[in-house]
Amino acid sequence: MTRVKETKRRFFTRTVWAAAAALALSGSAAGRDARPNLLFILADDMGYTDLGSYGSRHIRTPVLDDLAAAGVRLTDAYASSPVCSPTRLALITGRDPARFRTGLVEPFREGPWGAQAIPAGYATLPALLRTAGYFTALIGKWHLGETAEGGPLAHGYDHFFGFLGGGIDYFTHEYRNAPALRSGNESVTRNGYLTTILADEAIRVIQRSAAQQQPFAMSLHFNAPHWPWEGPEDSGLGTQGQHLDGGSLAVYARMVESLDYEVGRILTELDRLGLADDTLVIFTSDNGGERFSESWPFRGAKGFLLEGGIRVPAIVRYPGVLPAGQTSVQPSLTVDWMPTLLEAAGIPHSQWPELDGMSLLGPLAAAEIVPRALFWKFQGHRQRAARQGRWKYYRLRESEFLYDLATDSMERANRAAAEPAVLAGLAKSWEDWNGGMVSDDQIPGYCDRPAEVGVPFDVGPGSNCREPGPAPK
């Protein structure tokens, strides 16, 4: 195909799905506020196959399975990073996390780069939605800075209830042996299992918005199923809740099933208030799973750019705009959710900041696939990856791999020697993309001990992966 023909084909495709999205949006807006409510639900460390609708063999998730049946289930959705902080930075900015020096801190913590991951005054997703008339709320995990200046209220949220750090105990609500639960900038106490408490707060925000007839834009960031390994009836497990010496498949299943149940309570409240048809609901995960999660038919886990570390479940329900019961193979990234939500909110493109993602409404409404290349970099083990079509380029330290995902989803057969031109092309594309990212300046990378992930990688002086510890001076 000539370059002119390829350009015309891409223009035609984009025109078709953009027109389809515009038609669907305009039609659905008839007789109601053109601004839908926006409910973005983020699980923490959920594996690709931890939902029944994605093939789980032992975890029951009827609510999320029904959500997928009522919307679009994406099979080729990816997190922008294999750990949480960079992914959350990508979500709130719509930019590849490696565009920020703080996006290379895996996970984010205070250091020479500062105490907040988001630059002051940055045009964030919640800030833009608030300007457009939405009541913006973050319920749950933040993990982009633990100071007031770096917290949610400083970056566009009207309301915050949750925790600022990377984890929290489900029952004591402590992190690093200190109280961690907050409302706004104040420490608060609640009794009960945190997944339930977060759902309770989400329901209160929905009720408040309904009473005031103001559309809401809520990011509901559950800590489940992130460790400590504690289900809703496991308050007496003690050390079973710890990362290294606790947990089991049964406990993990209870954590995921509790999350599913609480999502059901929230969706039921939307129904009761007559808001379900006026609400865009998105469910996904911040990265792949770890010790007890399922990722079949992939391998790898949190902390690695193999498919199991970055391929995530993603479900989008938007009544009257997106078809129900559909499955899409559209490649997508975390950075796509910001333009998707901005478009759904009716914010003109002229008011959008520069973004790295694309809105998914058009392709999903028109059942079109937009060809694109996806790129990642990760400091831990000096990893890099690119995917274009069926081909996946992966580099770990000095070793390069090429996988044909169409026939080898497990990423076992290295085709680098058999397809040198494909390897070279993807490696060059990655280098071109990386030219727009910040430079690697010896920021310590994320480190999983080999015993935790079952991958025989040594942590030595030649690796950028460091043992957890205080930030460098």
Please give the positions annotated as active site.
84, 143
Token pair of 429 as six digits: 């594309």
H helix runs in 222-354, sequence order = 249-272, 307-310, 337-344
Hey, what are 460's tokens? 């030595």
By DSSP bridging, strand 72-74 and strand 314-317 are: antiparallel
Region at 411 (left for phi over 0; alpha for psi -120 to 50; beta for the rest): left
372 touches 31 (CB < 8 A): no
DSSP 382: G
Token pair, residue 277, equals 């048809």
Packing angle of the helix pair 249-272, 194-212 (nearest 10 deg): 10
Q: Give the pairing type, strands 279-285 and 37-43.
A: parallel
CB atoms within 10 A of CB 132: 17
CB 250 within 8 A of CB 188: no
Euclidean distance between the first and the last CA atom of the chain, given in angstroms as a whole number: 54
419 contacts: CB under 8 Å, gap ≥ 6: 391, 402
Q: Is 322 helix (H, G, I), strand (E, B) or coil?
A: coil
